[in-house]
Amino acid sequence: MYYIVTGAAGFVGSNLVKALNERGEHDIIAVDNLRNADKFRNLADCEIADYLDKEDFLKKLQDGFFDGLVNAVLHQGACSNTMETDGRYMMDNNYQYSLELLNYCQNEEIPFLYASSASVYGGGKTFKESRECEAPLNVYAYSKFLFDQVVRRRWHKRNAQIVGLRYFNVYGPREQHKGRMASVAYHLFNQYRAAGKVKLFEGCDGYANGGQLRDFISVEDAVKVNMYFLDNPHKSGIFNLGTGQAQSFNDVAAATVNALRNAEAKPALNLAELQQQGLIEYIPFPEALRGKYQSYTQANIGALRNSGYAEPFLNVEQGVARYVEQMLKTA
């Protein structure tokens, strides 16, 4: 029996494959599209039974090749570029692909865990898993939103586990292939090592320079939540996956710089000191992002906690320090 992980060479997907390996699971079908060939590096230290291109995988699925052979599907495969403007591509890759997998898993009574996104909330201030809080600002967010609506409409007819996880701002190992879509922590790490300082956007939407707030969550914690639902196939739902605590981009910058300073045996500095010494620099807010940018996100994790998940989450200071340490080992 196999675990199928789509988007397996991507950020969250490869971390899920590694987590399954750490549980002793090697019968894993890794599905992805390796047009970005460098993503293979994310799977180089993982054990899998087979790799399939997305198109080959879908054909085998339609032909019944996997019938009776699947333990669960962890669906992370999607276009995650929030600036993508090709709506047809986005809807085919994110919506139709997900719909086909949902139909298959329900027909075969297979647990289906999939990646939704906090982007469905748009510019709102309430991040609760209910329709009135949802107002996507771009086609990426709309593709995720629309699939969540399908899941809701089919909710009472489901015959196997369905779990949608609305990822907030995830950071951590195995994201280096994402380019500009990689996390703030990743970019700040590289900026500091290259120039001895980091850059953040100036304030917008009433926030001070670097003061925009996001719910930053370590990929370690994101994986733990996935494993929790995999271990509890009787639990279903659409859940926010964040820490429940918003922190500023300044916090991420301070955590990154101080973790790097610690590696150089230099003392930690507070935000004011980092600013005074020119270690944090602010650049104009991009016009292209105005009206499409979430200046504040904070997951309401009540539904997740009510499902029984009780593990604590790493805050920015803890998670970023661990991430920096890992990046330094492989730099």
- Tell me the catalytic residues: 140, 178
Other beta carbons within 10 angstroms of residue 293's beta carbon come to: 17
Query: Reduced to 3 states, what is the DSSP secondary structure of residue 164?
Result: strand
Alpha helices in the chain (DSSP H): 11-22, 54-62, 87-90, 97-108, 139-153, 184-195, 219-231, 249-263, 271-276, 302-306, 316-330
Which residue is associated with the tokens 């906690």? 305
Q: 316-330 and 219-231 are packed helices; what angle lies between their axes, rounded to 10 degrees? A: 100
Question: How far does the chain reach from its first CA to its final CA, in angstroms?
Answer: 37
113 with 75: CB under 8 angstroms? yes
241 with 309: CB under 8 angstroms? no
Query: Reduced to 3 states, what is the DSSP secondary structure of residue 329?
Result: helix
What the block records as the tokens of 277 is 């010494």
Picking from 78, 26, 19, the residue whose alpha carbon sits closest to that of residue 48 is 26
Picking from 63, 72, 59, the residue whose alpha carbon sits closest to that of residue 27 is 72
Residues 198 and 195: their CA atoms lie apart, in Å, by 8
Round the CA-based radius of gyration of the chain to a whole number and report it. 20
DSSP symbol at 72? E
Burial zone of 187 (CB within 10 Å; 0-12 exposed, 13-18 middle, 19+ buried): middle
DSSP symbol at 93? I
